Structure 1
Amino acid sequence: MSQLRTTKAGLVACGIICVFIFLYFRNPGPEEAEEEPTHPAVVDCGFYPDELCSALFDGKKAAPQIAQFCNSPHNSEVLAHLHTPRNCSRMARRLHFISRPLSAEEGNFSLAYVIHAHEELAMFVRILRAIYAPQNVYCIHIDEKAPKKFKSAVQTFVDCFGNVFLSSKTQKVAHDNLRRLQAEIDCLRDLVHSPFQWHYVMNLCGQEFPIKTNKEIIRYIRTRWRGKNITPGVVPPLNTKPKTGRSSPKPSPNENSYTSPNTRFKQKPPHNLTIYSGSAYYALTREFVGFVLTDPRAKDMLQWSKDIHSPEQHYWVTLNRLKGAPGATPDAGWEGHIRATKRRTEAGDGHKGCTGHDAQTTCVYGLGDLPRLIRLPAFFTTLEPSTDPLVAVCLERWHRLKALQQAEVPPEPHWPFPQQSHFSGQSHH
C-alpha cells in the first residue's frame, strides 16, 4: 500500500481525544479567550485513516514520518484548558462512550476496575472509554503527587458518570513500595462498600489498554475460572528464593518467568505463610476481596509487606494460594492471561523479538508488534502513546470495531468512531 509512505491528505484531521477534551472541558473567560495562545501539540494530534491501521495489522510498515505524525499533547498544555464540562451527556456522546450493555451476558455480569491515574489525561480518557460499560464500576486512584489541575480535571470528568468515582484515599504511589498496594486496597474497600453488585475486579496502571473486549473477558472468566481468582505466580525457584533481610529492587517479572525483586526479606512471613511471587495484576472475586479486607492473615501480611520491595508481586498470589480462601487456587502457577508481557531477549515464540523499546528490559510494544498483539490471549497490554502514538490509535479503533461486531443490541449512532478515507480525506459514519 503506497499510501503508507506518504503523509498526504487524510492524516490532518484532529484526533478524537485531543479535540473533544479541548472543546468540552474548556470554558475560558473573555480575557483568557483573547490572550491564550494555540498549542500546536493539541491541534496536531490526529487520528488516522482506517486503511492505514488495517495495513499495520496486516504487517505492512509505515514510514517513520507517519508513525511520528501524531504527537501526544503535553499534559500541562491540555490541563490548562480543563474546566467544568458544559453538558455531560453531550460530552459522553462526542467521546463515543458506550451507553448501555452490548449483550444480556454482559449486563448480567458486572466487572469492577481499580485504575491508577498519574498525569496522562488523554490516555486515561482513552482507557476508560475502551473498558467502559454502564453496568461496570470504576474506582480511580489519583497519585497524590499528581498536579492539582490534573486532579481537578479527572474529578470533573468522572463526575459525569454515576459508576465512576475517585478513591476515598490517596497515596504517593511508588512502584517498589507499599503505597501502590495500599492504594489498591483502599479502592477495593470503596468498591465493596459501593452499591454496585460487581462479580470480579481487575487493576490497571495508567498506560494499559485492552486487547480483549468486555464480552471476551467475561466469557473467559466464566468458562475457564468459574468463581476462581486469577493471580499468576509461583513459589520462587531455589536459586532465587528470598531469604531474610532487604535488597535493591530488580525488574518486575513477566507473566511466565520469575525475577525476584527481593533477594532477602527482613522478617519471616506471618502465620508461617509460604511466599509466592508473580504478577502484580489480577482478576479477583468479590468474595475474595472481602476476605482480603477482613482476614487476620491478610492484614498481617500487609503489615509485613511494608519492609519489602514491590509487595504487590507477592501479596495477591500468596493469599490466593491459601486453602479455604474464597476462590483460591492453591495449585495454580502462571495460568491466567491478564497481561501481555514480553522480555526483549525472549525467543522461539514465532516472532522476531520486539519492535518497540525496552522498559527495564521488558518490551513496550511497537507498530511492528500489532499483528501479533491482537492475537495474544491476554486481556491487556502496556502502551506508551508519547513514544508510539499510532499503536494506541489503531489498537483503539480495532478494539471498538470488534466490540460492536460482537454486540447483540442495535448500536447507538455515537458508538462507532468516525471512519476516515485516506483517499477522500473525509469523515463519515
Structure 2
Amino acid sequence: MGNMLFYRKRNRHIIILVVLLSSIYVIFRYQISSTSKLMEHYIRDHLELPKTIISNSTTGHAFPYTRLPVEIDCRALFDGKESELLIADAQYNLITNQYISNHVYIKETVDCATFRKSRGYITSPLSEEEELFSIAYSLVVYEDANQVERLLRALYQPQNYYCIHLDIKSPPDFRRAISGIAKCFDNVLISSMSVSVLRKSYTVLQPDLICMEDLWKYNDWKYIINIAGNEFPLRTNLELVNILKTLNGSNHVEGILNKANTDRWKEAVLPPHHIRPVKGSMHILATREFVDYVLHNQVAKDFLDWTKQTLYPEETFFSSLNYNPHLNVPGAFKGNLKEKDGSLRFFGRFVNWVDWINGTDQYKSEFYCHGKFIHGLCVFGVRDLPLIVSRPELFVNKFYRYFHPVVMDCMEELLFNRTRNDYLTKQTVNTDVYTKEYGWIANT
C-alpha cells in the first residue's frame, strides 16, 4: 500500500514537472517570437524603408504605382465576412508592415530619387484627361509622418499641387520628416507660414488661407480641395477629375440654415455688406476663381475680419460667401437656401457625427460607430469598412493609423486596385453616373 502511494505521488510530480516544462517552453518560444518581431520592426524603422512590390508585372503594362501587400483579406472585410473581421479585431493597435517611423523618412529622403521609387509614387500622368485637369490640395497636418505620407501618396499626381501646413506644435522629428518628403517633389510645398491651431478659433481657418495664397502662384489648377491629415480619399484621381467636371464651374460648399448655431456669432457686431451668416463644413471643393475672390476681394477681407470675432469661423467663412447671392462670388449658389429646407447635401466628406440629445448627456449618431468617438465624431474601426466602402462621398474622415491600422491598409489597397484598373483597362468613363450622383449642384 505504501509503495502504491509512493508511485502515485511520483507520477503526480512527474506530470506537474512535464506541464511546468511545457509552459516554460511555450513562454520561451513566445518571447523569442515577440523579440524577433520587435527586432524586425526596429531594423525596418531605423535602417531602411520597406521595399514596395509591383503587383501587376504579368500585365505587360508599366503601371507606375506600387505598394506593399496587406497582411489580411481586405475584400472579406469590405464584404463584412465575420471570420476575417474577428482576425482584424485582434489587430486594433498593432504595427502593420506598412508602418515607417519619422526617423526613417528623415534618413531616406536625403536621396529623393530612391525615395520616390521605393515608395512607388506615380511620376507621370495616367491619362490625358487627368493631365489637363490639375487639382490643388491644402493639407493641414499635425503628427504621424507615416499617415501623412501615405495620404499624400494616395492623392499624388505630378500634374497636381500640394501645400502642407505643419502645426507649430508639431514634434520636431515630424516636421523634419514631412519637410524632407516635400523637398522630393517639385509640386509639393510646405506652407510659407505655420500657426498653432486651436479649436474654435481663427487659427483653424488660417492654414487653408495660407495654403491658398501659396498655391495661387501655380496658375493651371482648376479646383482646390482642403484635406486634414486623418482623412483618406474614397475616389481615384480620375474619378475626382470627372466629378469636379460635372460641377461645371460651381463650388461645392455645405450650407445650413436650420441648425446654424447662431450663438457662435451672437457676441459679434452685425456682419458687413449685408451678409447673412451660414453654417457649413470647413471642407470645400472650390474653383480657382472662388479662391481669387477669397484672397483679393475687399468684401471677402472685410467678412474674414468679422469672422475672427466668432467661434468656429472655419464653418462660417466659406459657406457664407458661397450662399449670399448678392455678393456675386464666382461659382457660388445662386438660389435661395431656404428652398432647399435650409441645407444642401454635402458629398465632399463622409463623417459620422454625434448628435447630442437636448437637455441630456446622451447622444446618437446616424450610423453605428464600431471604432470610438473623439470630439464628437467617429474614428472608424475595421467593422466600419463595409459602410465606408459603400459611401458616395469623395473622402472619409476620420481614422488614425495607430487605431485599427488595418482600416488604412485596406483603404490604400482598394484605392491602388481601382487606380490600376482605371489605367490598365483604359475604359471610357461613364460621366452619366457622375452627373446623376454629383452634378445636381451645378444646376442649383
Counterpart CA distance in 2 for 1:335 and 1:68 is 34
| SS of aligned partner of 1:222 | helix
Q: Structure 1-normalised TM-score? A: 0.75
Change (3 A) 1:24 1:88: farther
Of the three residues 397, 402, 405, the one matched with 1:386 is 402
Query: Cα–Cα, structure 1 residues 182 and 69, in superposed 2: closer, same or farther, change >3 Å?
Result: closer
2:75 corresponds to which of 50, 54, 61: 54
Distance 1:181 1:292 in 2: 12
User: Does 2:130 align with 1:128?
Assistant: no
Aligned partner letter, 1:228 = S
Q: Distance in 2 between matches of 1:121 and 1:127?
A: 10
SS at match of 1:393: helix
The answer to whether structure 1 residue 149 and structure 2 residue 173 are counterparts is: yes
Aligned to 1:395, what secondary structure does the other structure show?
Answer: helix
Q: CA deviation at 1:304?
A: 1.1
Q: Is the 8 A contact 2:106 2:177 kept in 1?
A: yes
| Structure 1 residue runs of 4 or more that deviate by more than 4 Å after TM superposition | 12-16, 18-22, 71-75
Residues 46 and 104 in structure 2, CA contact (< 8 A), matched pair in contact too: no
Q: Could you tell me which residue of structure 2 aligns to residue 203 of structure 1? A: 226
1:37 corresponds in structure 2 to none
Q: Does 1:228 align with 2:250?
A: yes
Determine helix, strand or coil for the equivalent of 1:398: helix
1:110 CA drift (Å): 0.4
Give the distance between the partners of 1:399 and 1:361, measured in 2 at CA. Answer: 27
- Displacement after TM superposition at 1:385 (Å): 1.6
Q: Quick one: distance in 1 between partners of 2:374 and 2:177? A: 28
Counterpart of 1:88, as a letter, is C
The equivalent of 2:418 in structure 1 is 402
Q: Measured at CA, do residues 219 and 83 of structure 1 come closer, stay the same or move farther in structure 2, by a change above 3 Å? A: same
3-state DSSP class of the match of 1:83?
A: helix
Provide closer, same or farther for how the CA distance between residues 81 and 48 of structure 1 changes in structure 2, counting only shifts above 3 A: closer
Decide whether the 8 Å contact of 1:56 with 1:62 is kept in 2. no
Please give the alpha-carbon distance, in whole angstroms, between the structure 1 residues aligned to 2:132 and 2:95.
39
| Partner Cα separation in structure 1 for residue 351 and residue 128 of structure 2 | 32
Deviation at 1:236? Answer: 3.9
Q: Which residue of 1 aligns with 2:296?
A: 294
User: Could you list the per-position Cα deviations for residues 224-282 of structure 1 after superposition, in whole angstroms to 9, with x for gaps in the alignment?
Assistant: x1100110112244xx6525xxxxxxxxxxxxxxxxxx272322211221000011100
**1:408 to partner: Cα distance:** 5.5
Tell me: CA distance 1:363–1:236, structure 2 relative to 1, closer, same or farther (3 Å). same
Q: Which region of structure 1 is more displaced relative to structure 2, 122-131 or 183-192?
A: 183-192
**Post-superposition shift, 1:80?**
7.7
Query: Does the CA-based 8 Å contact 1:102-1:409 persist in structure 2?
Result: no
8 Å Cα contact 2:261-2:279 kept in structure 1? no
Which residue of structure 1 aligns with residue 345 of structure 2?
A: 335
CA 1:72–1:234 in 2, change beyond 3 Å: closer, same or farther?
Answer: farther
1:365 aligns with one of 380, 389, 405: 380
Residue deviations 1:320-346, cap 9 Å, x none? 123211111133642341110123523
Any conservation in 1 of the 2:155–2:237 contact (CA below 8 Å)?
Answer: yes
Unaligned runs of 5+ in 2: 1-29, 51-67, 338-342, 355-363, 427-444
Q: Deviation string for 1:175-202 (max 9, x for gaps)?
A: 32101212211110111123x5100001
Report the counterpart of residue 200 of structure 2 in structure 1.
176
Output the CA distance in 2 between the equivalents of 1:367 and 1:136. 31
Q: Is the 8 A contact 2:45 2:103 kept in 1?
A: no
Q: In the TM superposition, what whole-angstrom CA distance separates every residue of 1:71-101 from its partner, at most 9, and x where no partner exists?
A: 69999x6338723634212211111111111
Contact 2:91 2:404 survives alignment (8 Å): no
Q: Is the 8 A contact 1:103 1:409 kept in 2?
A: no
Give the aligned residue type for 2:382.
L
Name whichever of 355-364 and 392-401 sits farther off: 355-364
SS in 2 for 1:114: strand
Separation (CA, whole Å) in 2 of partners of 1:127 and 1:103 = 21
**1:22/1:81 contact within 8 Å kept:** no
Secondary structure class of the residue paired with 1:199: strand
TM-score (normalizing by structure 2): 0.73
Q: CA deviation at 1:361?
A: 2.9
Aligned to 1:139, the other structure's residue is in SS state strand
Residue type at the aligned position of 1:136: N
- 2:95 maps to which residue? 70
Give the equivalent residue in structure 2 for 1:314.
316
The amino acid of 1:23's aligned partner reads: E
Q: Which has the higher helix share?
A: 2
Q: How many residues align?
A: 352
CA distance change for structure 1 residues 360 and 197 in 2, over 3 Å: closer, same or farther? same
Shift in CA distance, 122/81, structure 1 to aligned 2, threshold 3 Å: closer
Q: Tell me how far apart the structure 2 counterparts of residues 171 and 121 of structure 1 sit (CA, whole Å).
A: 18
CA distance in 2, matches of 1:343, 1:172: 25
Deviations 1:7-62 (A, max 9, x none): 99xxx79999x95895259xxxxxxxxxxxxxxxxxxxx96335x21211110223
Report if the CA contact (8 A) 2:105-2:181 is conserved: no
Change (3 A) 1:343 1:81: closer
Q: In structure 1, what is the Cα distance between the partners aligned to 2:421 and 2:271?
A: 49
**Retained in 1: the 8 A contact 2:94–2:402?**
no
Secondary structure of the 2:316 match is helix
Contact kept? 1:22, 1:78, Cα under 8 Å: no
Supply the RMSD in Å over aligned alpha carbons. 3.0
- Among all aligned residue pairs of Structure 1 and Structure 2, give the percentage whose two residues are the same amino acid: 29
Secondary structure at 2:77 match in 1: helix
> Residue 325 of structure 1 aligns with which residue?
329
| Residues 105 and 177, structure 2, Cα contact 8 Å, conserved in 1 | no
